[in-house]
Amino acid sequence: MSGAAVDVATGVLLLGGAAFCVLGAWGLVRFPDVPARLHAATKPQTIGLLAILAGAALQVDLQFACGLALVGLFQLVTAPVIAQRISRTAYRTGRLRHDLLLTDELADGPPDTGDEPRRVDRGV
- The per-residue pLDDT for 14 is 97
- The per-residue pLDDT for 124 is 53
- The per-residue pLDDT for 102 is 81
- Rounded CA-CA distance 55/22 in Å is 17
Amino acid making up residue 74: F
- The per-residue pLDDT for 27 is 92
Residue 42: how many other CB atoms lie within 10 Å: 19
What pTM was estimated for this model as a whole? 0.76
Q: What single DSSP character describes residue 85?
A: H
Local mean pLDDT, 10-residue blocks, the chain (124 residues):
89 97 93 88 93 95 93 94 89 83 74 54 58
- The per-residue pLDDT for 66 is 93
- The per-residue pLDDT for 115 is 52
Boundaries of every domain in the chain: 3-93
